[in-house]
Structures are given as C-alpha cells and as structure tokens.
Amino acid sequence: MVKDSIDKLALDLERIQFLEEPLDGISFLLLADMYGVVYPSYPTITRGFKSLGLQVISASTVGVPALAQDLFYFEITSQVPEELSKHVVSSNKAQANWYRELLEAWKDAKPPPTTTEEAARLVIQTLKKNQQAEVEGLLAFYGLPLPHALIQLSAEIHTSWPEGVQFELHTLPVHAKAVGDGDGMTVYVSTADPRESGRIPSEVLLATAQRSKARAGKDYTTADALHLKITDSGYRVINHQNQEILARKYRLRLMGIDAPEMSMPYGDEAKEELVNLVQGKCLRVLVYGEDKYGRTIGDVYCNGIFVQEAMLKKGFAWHHKVYDKRPEFAAWEKEAQAKQVGLWASPNPEKPWEWKQNNRREDS
C-alpha cells in the first residue's frame, strides 16, 4: 500500500516537474500525508523515495530535516521513530521524553538549526543529563556529528569593545547569496537603528517615500525605478517579517583572517562553511574601520559564536598576522594545523596573499 502511494506521488511529482530541486522536509512530509503515505519513520519513507531514484534532500544535510520531521510528527502523534530502538536501549517512554524536550528546544531556537553541526549541538545540550551512549545513539540515528567530532568554540562574548573597535552593528538576517567567499559578505542594517537613522541621505528618504506612494497606486514600474535609485545609493528596501524596512548596505570583511580565494583549493569549502554559520541569522559586528576597498572590517558574532574563531579552528582560513596580532588567532590556527582539518589536510597549502601576488605577476 505504501509502495503504491509512493508510486503515485512520484508520478505526480514528475508530471509537475518538482524533481529539479530537493524537497524540503516539511513539504515532503505534508505531500506524503496527502498521498496516504503513512508515517512509519522519516528514514523509511526517504528510503522508499530513493529506491525510486528520487532525490528528497541533499546528502550533506540529511540529518537535519529528518530530525525536524520526526519532531513535527511527534508533536502530532506523540510517537517516536520505531527504528530508533536499534540505536538506543532506553524505553519508548524515555525516548518520548527526549523528543518532548528536543521539540521545546527546537521551537525556542531562533533560528532553528539548519546544519548538522547546529542540530548536534542542540541535541547534546538538551539531553546532557542523559547517558552519553544514548545521546550518541540518537545522533548516529540521524547521521549527526558525535561530540568528539565537534569543534569546541569559546563561550566568551565581548560585552565591552576590544581595543580598536569604533562602533557596533546589528544586521538583518543574512542571505546565503550575500556570502562572497570564506571571509567576506554583504550585510544590511535597518535604518531604524539609532546610529543609522540620522545618516540617511535626503535623496534616499525622498525616493523611499515616492516608492511607497507608487506601490500604493500599483505603479510598479515607477516603484522599481525608484528602488534602483535607492540601491545605487547603498540602501535597499527589504521585506523582513512581513514588513518593508529601509536598510543600509555594508560590504563586510572579517578581521584578522584570510580564507582561500574561490579559485584556490578549499575556496568553495570555506565559503560553504561561512554560509552555514551565518545564513538566515542576525549578526553582531564590532567594526574597526574600512580597508582600501571600502569594505567594513569587523569581528563577527552569530548566535554566541565568534565566526573568525570557527573559521580558524575548522581550518577554513589563515590567521593574517600582518593585520591582526591577537595571540588567540594564532593558537586557533595552530590547533587546526595540528588536527590537519580543512585546508591543513594538504601538506603545504598556499597562502591566499601569496597566491594573489603570484597571479598578479602572471597577469602582468
């Protein structure tokens, strides 16, 4: 019966060309319910789809949507996945208590986990009073990293500014496409911020008011032209939580680190790691100034994580000692080098600044 339902769903998905992109977890579960694919456990349904040659979710994040679906279903039915008992020895009642606690923690997380590492940290923190073997069994069930595989990050968050910091920014949620590489991104700060509100150019304020009037009159051609004028001035109207916000654009460069260029080995991996850290999240940026390219140079904090620390410890960036003398940066780089993680898996990785210098010579 389940096979027949899956066959019908697969056929309809193919007809309406849904198969070009992976289905997100919630959409997958809802579609399955619509077609009568009852819930034995998310991994079981996923295997059924994969047996038909369908891609449900990308392999790199398989554990996150699987856990999300099981929590979603637990909230409705109070049932835990049957196959979990193959990985843990606790009773079904104990497992239900885990899922109840995890469901509350998942709801409280702002935003909820999007990477396997974030999900693993949430599970470990929420179930820290349980036996380690049981927690590790749950993590293994969802393909999430075990505790020893997670990079240990400092809990310290600066409440006072370090020496050299000029001011502080609080950004709107960062879009994945705004991340250019492993050490830079574009961010936006609401002009409702006290520091920004008095700095808006008069022509931007006028264009914003005129755009709102044009949209109210459904003159979208004029509204789009006015928005182009706004963006050319370094601002953008962003829809945030169903509300339009005028925001200022900042091109941000992470202080003290240098990630591989996109054309270098580990360039793609470094960018992907930075996306995983900041995507969909609001950032706290301690700004030191601007570089010669007009980029804002700063320390970046995200959900209590110091982003430069994470990039260095995971081996996706170098400590740029010329511009930043902080000893902890050097220590974090040495830690990654000793563990041979990230770019340090290569015996003699080329430094980005040397690579750029060599390529300039070749171009000339």
What are the catalytic residues? 253, 261, 295
**Scanning the structure block, which residue is given the tokens 């080098």?**
337
32 near 72, Cβ under 8 Å? no
| Dist. CA 39–CA 132, nearest whole Å | 28
- What tokens does 343 get? 């770019």
| Dist. CA 59–CA 63, nearest whole Å | 9
Phi/psi region, residue 101 (left: phi>0; alpha: psi -120 to 50; beta: rest), is alpha
Q: Which one, of 277, 257, 65, 308, lies nearest residue 173 by Cα? A: 277
DSSP notation for 110-148: SSPP-SHHHHHHHHHHHTTTS-HHHHHHHHHHTTPPPGG
Q: Which one, of 324, 258, 321, 260, lies nearest residue 289 by Cα? A: 324
How would you classify the pairing of strands 296-302 and 243-254? parallel
Alpha helices by DSSP H, 154-239: 194-197, 202-216, 220-232
Number of other CB atoms surrounding residue 300 within 10 Å: 27
| Dist. CA 201–CA 205, nearest whole Å | 7
353 near 320, Cβ under 8 Å? yes
Task: Return the DSSP state at 97.
Answer: H
| Dist. CA 12–CA 15, nearest whole Å | 5
| Dist. CA 31–CA 23, nearest whole Å | 10
How would you classify the pairing of strands 305-306 and 284-290? unpaired
10 near 42, Cβ under 8 Å? no
